[in-house]
Amino acid sequence: DVKVTQSSRYLVKRTGEKVFLECVQDMDHENMFWYRQDPGLGLRLIYFSYDVKMKEKGDIPEGYSVSREKKERFSLILESASTNQTSMYLCASSLLTGGIYEQYFGPGTRLTVT
Amino acid sequence: RKEVEQDPGPFNVPEGATVAFNCTYSNSASQSFFWYRQDCRKEPKLLMSVYSSGNEDGRFTAQLNRASQYISLLIRDSKLSDSATYLCVALGGNFNKFYFGSGTKLNVKP
């Protein structure tokens, strides 16, 4: 079974803090993704990575950065947290080649910025 | 215009009913399609992939119409445990961009 894990289920941070969200997958997937999910807005892609040290902006990258130093790990960084970044953050991974392209999600991190 | 459009619902149906969800996608280069299920405050989980010829998994049937750029999910004999939000997903032609619909909420009542 594919396993995607995220470092925290719940996180409370103060405005202006630097926040790190970690994601690890154990299936050797090339692709990794960070989304945020808000009521009424659905899933929105922040960044994705298709290889180590490679990253591409998604639909809403402002205020975020990412790091992928190892294939299995993809980190999302909020440089200076703001209240409008309070959300559910979901990490996902998928294969890039091989014919099985389903995306697998971690359990999510519910971040509250006060 | 959103890449993938779904009726948000909610669909309120009695146990045992048959219910159908539809979704349209705008990118004709999309290669693969999926239905995900998301329970309240949980992550999305893959329900089934959607193949050109249509495919069935127990009470669930998925259909793809490439000409109309339309995907459907049929649930027969609904159970209370089917209550969830169902997300329609299209995978872009470069195999690393997934487009999610906003989801259709299903409530199955006793």
**Could you tell me how many CB contacts below 8 A there are between chain A and chain B?**
48
Shortest CA distance from B104: residue in chain A: A42
Q: In this complex, is the C-beta atom of A60 within 8 Å of any C-beta atom belonging to chain B?
A: no
pLDDT value of position A102? 82
Q: In this complex, is the C-beta atom of B50 within 8 Å of any C-beta atom belonging to chain A?
A: no
pLDDT value of position B31? 79
Q: Would the CB atoms of A43 and B100 count as touching at under 8 Å?
A: yes
Instruction: Name the percent of chain A lying above pLDDT 70.
Output: 94
pLDDT class of A4 with cuts at 50, 70, 90: very high
Among candidates B44, B87, B96 on the partner chain, residue whose Cβ is nearest the Cβ of A48 = B96
Cα distance between residue B6 and residue B19, in whole Å:
14
| Strand pairing class (A10-13; A109-113) | parallel
Q: In this complex, is the C-beta atom of A41 within 8 Å of any C-beta atom belonging to chain B?
A: yes
Cis, bond preceding B14 (omega within 30 deg of 0): no
| A-chain residues near B43 (CB < 8 A) | 90, 105-108
Q: Which chain A residues in 66-85 lie under 8 Å from chain B, judged by CB atoms? A: none
Give A71-109 pLDDT, tens digit per residue: 999 999 999 999 999 999 999 998 766 566 788 999 999
What average pLDDT score do residues B64-88 get? 95
Cα distance between residue A46 and residue A21, in whole Å:
13
Q: Would the CB atoms of B91 and A101 count as touching at under 8 Å?
A: yes
pLDDT value of position B54? 83
pLDDT class of B89 with cuts at 50, 70, 90: very high
Shortest CA distance from A39: residue in chain B: B102
Helix locations, chain B, DSSP H: none
Dihedral angle computed from the Cα positions of residues B70, A40, A3 and A24, in that order, rounded to the nearest 10 degrees? 120
Instruction: Name the percent of chain A lying above pLDDT 90.
Output: 77
Average model confidence (pLDDT) across chain A: 92
Q: In this complex, is the C-beta atom of B68 within 8 Å of any C-beta atom belonging to chain A?
A: no
Give A15-38 pLDDT, tens digit per residue: 999 999 999 999 898 899 999 999
Q: In this complex, is the C-beta atom of B44 within 8 Å of any C-beta atom belonging to chain A?
A: yes
Q: In this complex, is the C-beta atom of A43 within 8 Å of any C-beta atom belonging to chain B?
A: yes
| Strand pairing class (B104-109; B11-14) | parallel
